[in-house]
Amino acid sequence: MKNLKRTIAIVCGGDSSEYEVSLRSAQGLYSFFDKERYNVYIVVVRSLDWHVNLPDGTTARIDRNDFSFMENGKLVQFDYAYITIHGTPGENGIMQGYFELVHVPYSTSSVLVEALTFNKFVLNQYLRGYGVRVADSLLIRKGYEEIVSDDEIEERIGMPCFVKPAADGSSFGVSKVKNKDQLAPAIRKAMLESEDVMVERYMEGTEISIGCYKTHDKTVVLPATEVVTQREFFDYDAKYNGQVQEITPARLSEETTKRVNEITSQIYDILHCNGIIRIDYIISRGKGSDGQEVDKVNMIEINTTPGMTATSFIPQQVKAAGLNMTDVLTDIVENQFR
């Protein structure tokens, strides 16, 4: 009798500095998937080395012609790819383009959406056109650093400011710059991760992160997580070495929570996203149209392949929502086959 279980590839690794984080996300996802319903394998991608981890502890080479492999003398072909690569090639449209070519459904948004969300500067300019509040920023491209002077950056963006890779993950190469003398080394540091560097205005406020996914029949906006760190900002050590307090649900007013949820759902639809995304915001205080102090919702960035370790934001938020990660992943996979 034909095996009716779908075969799922959890695709991890990649070519960015977040390679090890991706491997941890893959282990988290593997623990969450319903093994009674699916045959689940972890596929590790790094440059031209693509292999699948087999149950006996060995590995098998992935045939990139059709994304298949041999196990015990039998050909195994995947029905679905769950991409959990942080950075290139899984978060910028490259891996998505490959899966389009070999006709394998995948968990993330489309090629265009992935490329758009991967470049923070381009994304911010795009969403600004839809009325989404984002910080003012400048783009500095490798080889053209002299076009904008440090004085012009200070005048336009102000101090302090953030210097970050425009097209990469969010954990490496980021600096909080407090005076213009720190700009040049911060830009050089960011350019080790990306040839495009964004200099972004600093926003004072509460940092939150919120997950969202949609299927054909439902919209799920998860409870937001408030990020509290004693470090200068939410950097790699804060994220992955426990130097942060994560409060789920975030301590927001009922009205602000409702607005954040609405904006998150709208952004998901504007971009035509697919699967689970996570959006980071700064909630700042400012005057509304009536002159009264109100919360202002400022988008920082969108993560289309959010971390999936047991302690990552999304699993925390799923638990806080009273949901089960196994059921959520099943919803996301099966949505592709309706």
Q: What is the mean pLDDT of the chain?
A: 93
* Residue written as token pair 């790699």: 236
Indicate whether 161 belongs to any domain: yes
Q: Are residues 80 and 119 in the same domain?
A: no
Q: Which of 229, 302, 278, 307 is nearest to 20 (CA)?
A: 307
Indicate whether 177 belongs to any domain: yes
18 as an active site residue: the answer is: yes
Q: Are residues 38 and 94 in the same domain?
A: yes
**CATH number for 26:** 3.40.50.20
Q: Hey, what are 279's tokens?
A: 């959006």
| Residue of 16, 17, 18, 171 marked active site | 18
Q: Are residues 34 and 76 in the same domain?
A: yes
Which residues are CB-contacts of 45 (< 8 A; sequence separation ≥ 6)? 11, 12, 13, 14, 85, 89, 90, 95
Cα 270 to the center of its chain, rounded Å: 17
Q: Which of 225, 264, 267, 262 is nearest to 247 (CA)?
A: 225
**Residue 3: what pLDDT?**
56
Q: Are residues 127 and 273 in the same domain?
A: yes
284 as an active site residue: the answer is: no
Cα dihedral 251, 255, 260, 266, rounded to 10, equals 160
Indicate whether 175 belongs to any domain: yes
* Euclidean distance between CA atoms 125 and 128, whole angstroms: 5
Least confident interval from 89-93, 95-99, 240-244: 240-244
Q: Are residues 121 and 238 in the same domain?
A: yes
Q: How much is the average pLDDT of 254-273? A: 98
Q: What is the pLDDT of residues 146-199, one digit of tens each?
A: 899 999 999 999 999 999 999 875 568 999 999 999 999 999 999 998 899 999
Among 64, 90, 107, give the residue marking a domain's end. 107
The verdict on whether residue 298 carries a ligand-binding annotation is no
Cis status, amide bond into 223, omega within 30 of 0? no
Indicate whether 317 belongs to any domain: yes
Cα dihedral 190, 228, 315, 45, rounded to 10, equals 10
Least confident interval from 93-97, 106-110, 208-212, 292-296: 292-296
Check pLDDT > 60 for residue 236: no
**CATH number for 319:** 3.30.470.20
Q: How many domains does the chain have?
A: 3
Check pLDDT > 70 for residue 241: no
Which residues are CB-contacts of 28 (< 8 A; sequence separation ≥ 6)? 307, 308, 309, 310, 312, 315
**CATH number for 151:** 3.30.1490.20
170 as an active site residue: the answer is: yes
Among 201, 217, 244, give the residue marking a domain's end. 201
Check pLDDT > 70 for residue 24: yes
Contact 171, 235 (CB under 8 A): yes
Q: How much is the average pLDDT of 196-205? A: 95
Q: Are residues 187 and 256 in the same domain?
A: no
User: What is the C-alpha end-to-end distance of the chain, expressed in Å?
Assistant: 24
Determine the structural domain holding residue 173 and report its residue range. Answer: 137-201
* Euclidean distance between CA atoms 187 and 283, whole angstroms: 26
pLDDT band of residue 17 (cuts 50, 70, 90) is: confident
SS3 state at 140:
strand
Check pLDDT > 80 for residue 2: no
Indicate whether 39 belongs to any domain: yes
**Residue 169: what pLDDT?**
57
Q: What is the pLDDT of residues 271-314, one digit of tens each?
A: 999 999 999 999 999 888 888 889 999 999 999 999 999 889 99
Q: Are residues 193 and 229 in the same domain?
A: no
The verdict on whether residue 301 carries a ligand-binding annotation is yes
**Residue 291: what pLDDT?**
82
**Residue 1: what pLDDT?**
39
pLDDT band of residue 232 (cuts 50, 70, 90) is: low
Q: How much is the average pLDDT of 17-22? A: 92
Which residues are CB-contacts of 322 (< 8 A; sequence separation ≥ 6)? none
**Residue 92: what pLDDT?**
95
Q: Are residues 154 and 215 in the same domain?
A: no
**Residue 90: what pLDDT?**
96
Indicate whether 253 belongs to any domain: yes
Helices (H) and strands (E) counted in the chain, each on its own, are 10, 17
Q: Are residues 272 and 235 in the same domain?
A: yes
Indicate whether 197 belongs to any domain: yes
Indicate whether 1 belongs to any domain: no
Q: Are residues 28 and 173 in the same domain?
A: no
| Residue of 25, 137, 170, 194 marked active site | 170
Positions of E strands within the chain: 6-13, 38-46, 49-53, 59-61, 68-71, 74-77, 80-83, 137-141, 161-165, 175-177, 196-201, 206-214, 219-221, 225-228, 245-247, 277-287, 293-303
Q: What is the pLDDT of residues 117-141, one digit of tens each?
A: 999 999 999 999 999 999 999 999 9
Q: How much is the average pLDDT of 62-82? A: 98
CA-based torsion, 124, 125, 130, 133: positive or negative? positive
Among 201, 220, 253, give the residue marking a domain's end. 201
Q: Are residues 196 and 185 in the same domain?
A: yes
pLDDT band of residue 75 (cuts 50, 70, 90) is: very high
Q: Are residues 246 and 124 in the same domain?
A: yes
Q: Hey, what are 278's tokens?
A: 């996570």
Q: Is the full-model pTM beyond 0.85?
A: yes
The verdict on whether residue 303 carries a ligand-binding annotation is yes
Cis status, amide bond into 165, omega within 30 of 0? no
